[in-house]
Structure 1
Amino acid sequence: MSYDLLTMGRISVDIYPNDIGVGLEDVTSFGKYLGGSPSNVAVAAAKHGRKPAVITRTGDDPFGEYLHRELRRYGVDDAHVTPVAGLQTPATFCAIKPPEDFPLYFYGRFPTAPDLQIKPEEIDVQAVKDSRIFWSTVTGLCQDPSRSAQLEAHRARPREELREDQHTVLDLDYRPMFWDSIEDATEQVRENLKYVTIAIGNREECAVAVGDGSPEEQADRLLDAGVKIAVVKMGSKGVMAKTANETVISEPVAVETRNGLGAGDSFGGAFCHGILSGWDMQNVLDFANAAGAIVASRIACSEDMPTTAEVLGLLNERGRGFAA
């Protein structure tokens, strides 16, 4: 089957507090949601009417069944999600202390997690080849067999063999707690960049990939590595996208932040929707920025991903609208 977007990597159950502004030790009740960055990106794309799927693994347990059910409810194909005997589905807890403090606590991921047990021989290579966008993450490179499986998937999509409407995206989501060393992460990222057409990351994540420097310097190094579009998130200065022919900056869309944890995933799904729609880069970035801002103004991640109409509505409200 051909997908608009095929993501690969982390999945978990997000356990988010209903009590805002306090530490986990003081929370009295929680909500339960589908989580995991590439899984959230797939959900975000589904909210924009895209046909996504995710390659991942869960525990063979009730939480694993819950994640299958949630993926299907959101319109994400779960045909490439399989259980791992003997491992539990991970859970991720967070505290919500707006505007900037959202500590995460990972359970069931050490020493390994089911989604790090994706094996190369289990990859549906044809689905990887046929998808319009294939999205993977740096977290998926932190250990084998996931590391080898992800490289196998990338090798199935050589840049020179991609159609004009196809892209391979690497989300540079470096999380140090999952790695033995930053040097190991850099080595793995650079090997996988050989197959990537779009790289997306913040300044710190780009530094792991190509070294420190200005956003322009980091984008240039990503382009030198062969990517077609380098996206550098610059925090309060917005987001930059650079290609061989243009540099585009999207200013932040200011909102009252309630939980910033899902903003990047919402950005990713919206970015893919814009690329698939053939929009110019300014519109793609503005749309993705606004989508991220909407989720930051809400509590959940997957459950609160916005629709296209909601994103365009916010852009119109801020005088940055366009004809989609």
Structure 2
Amino acid sequence: MTHELLTIGRISVDIYPNDIGVDLEDVTSFGKYLGGSPSNVAVAAARHGRRTAVITRTGDDAFGNYLHRELRKFNVDDSFVSPVKEWPTAVTFCAIKPPEDFPLYFYGRVPTAPDLQIKASELDLDAIKNARIFWSTVTGLCQEPSREAHIKAHEARPRAELKDGQYTILDLDYRPMFWDSEEEARAQVARILPHVTVAIGNDKECAVAVGEGTPDEQADRLLAAGVEIAVVKLGPEGVMAKTRTERVVSAPVPVETVNGLGAGDSFGGAFCHGLLSGWPLAQVLDYANAAGAIVASRLSCADAMPTPDEVISLLAERGRLAPDAVPGAAVPGRDASQLTPEGAAL
């Protein structure tokens, strides 16, 4: 089976408090969820009806069994997920103190974690080569053997130019606790960027990848490194995407924030869905922004990923143009034969 989205990298059990607005030491009860950014992105895209899979590793334990069960529940192919006997499944705690304070506490990642034990020799290179979108993160480059596996996977992909609707996406997801220095991270990102079609990151992540500067300067450096689409998140000002011929900005979609941790992963899955749908870049950003906002307004991450109907409904509530109102755009769940030459619904 050819996957529409194949991700690689981190997976964990997220332990989120049921008590909102208090420090972790004062929490009295928790819930557990599937977590890890690449895994969440696969879940998010699956919620939009896409065929997704994740390449990762768990511990050979009950939490690993739980993650397999959750992936299958969310219709994510877990055939590339296998156990590592030496290391327990990673667990991540957080405190939830809206609107902006969501500290993360990583357990089972020192000195390493199962998802950093992915080996190049274990990769299904045909599956990686043929996937419509291949998604990885900078975190996967932080140590061996994961680093070599990520590099080999990127080398197996078609060249970075947009080719037959294929995209190789790098989430610039820089987490300093996993690296010795920013300089080390920048050197590893430089090895990968020539193989990347789309790079996505916020100001700090882009600065680690290509240096400090304005969002436009950072986007231009990413493009100069070989990327075809540079996406720079602008915080309260929304998100900008830049190609060699186009620059678009999508304003944020205001919601009451409950937990901001999964918003970026929801954005990523929806962004992939928009690319695969062939929508204009501005519409892809609006749709992804709305998807991210929905998850920010909910407690969990994977379990909170929205459906297309929920995203389109929020866009309509905020007076935004829904995808089925874009002339010539593909529409989720609607066959192209149901559109007039101008793209209007029959």
TM-score per shorter chain, which class? over 0.9
Report the counterpart of residue 67 of structure 1 in structure 2: 67
* Alpha-carbon distance in 1 for matches of 2:245, 2:316: 28
1:26-64 Cα offsets, whole Å, 9 max, x none, are: 111000100000000000000000000000000000000
Question: After the TM superposition, which of the residue ranges 159-168 and 192-201 deviates more from structure 2?
Answer: 159-168
SS of residue paired to 1:87:
coil
SS at match of 1:159: coil
Structure 2 counterpart of 1:56: 56
Counterpart residue type for residue 223 of structure 2: L
2:134 aligned residue: 134
| Counterparts of residues 154-303 of structure 1 (less than 5 Å) | 154-159=154-159, 163-303=163-303
Q: Distance in 2 between matches of 1:144 and 1:164?
A: 32
How far apart, CA to CA, are the structure 2 residues paired with 1:124 and 1:162?
A: 22
Aligned to 1:94: 94
Contact 2:12 2:91 (C-alpha < 8 Å) held by counterparts:
yes
Q: What are the superposed Cα offsets for residues 245-289 of structure 1, whole Å, 9 maximum, x if unpaired? A: 100000000100000000000000000000000000111000000
**C-alpha separation in 2, matches of 1:156 and 1:183:** 26
| 1:246–1:162 Cα change, 3 Å | closer
Q: How many residues align?
A: 324
Separation of aligned partners in 1, 2:62 and 2:295: 27
Q: In the TM superposition, what is the alpha-carbon distance from 1:160 to its structure 2 partner?
A: 5.8
Counterpart of 1:125 in structure 2 is 125
Q: Report the residue type matching 1:257 in the other structure.
A: T
- 1:107 corresponds in structure 2 to 107
Secondary structure at the residue paired with 2:165?
coil
1:321 — aligned with what?
321
Partner amino acid for 1:22?
A: V
TM-score (norm 2): 0.93
Partner Cα distance (1:287, 1:158) in 2? 27
C-alpha change, 1:160 and 1:293, in structure 2 (3 Å) is closer
What do the CA deviations read for 1:167-190 (whole angstroms, capped 9, x no partner)?
Answer: 000000000000011110000001
- The one-letter amino acid paired with 1:154 is H
1:116 matches 2:142: no
What TM-score comes out, normalization by structure 1 length?
0.99
Deviation at 1:163, TM superposition (A): 3.1
Contact 2:58 2:82 in 1 (8 A): yes
Report the Cα distance in structure 2 between the residues aligned to 1:276 and 1:228, rounded to whole angstroms: 16
Give 3-state SS (helix, strand or coil) of 2:87's partner: coil
Extract unaligned runs of 5+ from structure 1.
none
Matched residue type, 1:183: E
Q: Which has the larger radius of gyration?
A: 2
For the residue of structure 1 that corresponds to 2:77, the secondary structure is: coil
Measure, in 2, the Cα distance between the counterparts of 1:222 and 1:161: 14
1:10 maps to 10
Deviation of 1:86 after TM superposition, in Å, equals: 1.7
In structure 2, relative to structure 1, the CA distance for the partners of 1:161 and 1:98 (3 Å cut) is closer
Question: Could you tell me how far 1:237 is from its partner in structure 2?
Answer: 1.0
RMSD in angstroms over aligned alpha carbons?
0.9
Poorly superposed stretches of 4+, deviation over 4 Å: none
> CA–CA distance in 2 between the matches of 1:250 and 1:210?
23
> What stretches of structure 2 of length at least 5 have no aligned partner?
325-330, 332-346
Shift of 1:194: 1.1
One-letter amino acid of the structure 2 residue matched with residue 272 of structure 1? C
Cα deviation 1:51-104 (Å, max 9, x = unaligned): 000000000000000000000000000000010012100000000001000000
User: Contact 2:162–2:197 (CA<8 Å) still a contact in 1?
Assistant: no
Whole-Å separation in 2 of the counterparts to 1:9 and 1:239: 24
Tell me which amino acid in the other structure corresponds to 2:136.
S
Q: C-alpha displacement at 1:164, in angstroms? A: 2.1
CA 1:127–1:209: 2 relative to 1, 3 Å: same
Shift of 1:161: 7.9
Preserved CA contact (<8 Å) 2:41 2:265 = yes
Give the Cα–Cα distance (whole angstroms) in 2 for the partners of residues 161 and 92 of structure 1. 36
Matched AA of 1:230: A
Counterpart amino acid of residue 130 in structure 2? D
- What do residues 202-225 of structure 1 show as CA deviations (whole Å, max 9, x unaligned)? 000000111110101100000000
Aligned-pair distance for 1:158?
3.6
Partners of 1:160 and 1:37 in 2: CA distance: 23
Give the share of equivalent positions with the same residue, in percent: 72
Q: Tell me the residue number matched to 2:334.
A: none
Distance 1:163 1:267 in 2: 23
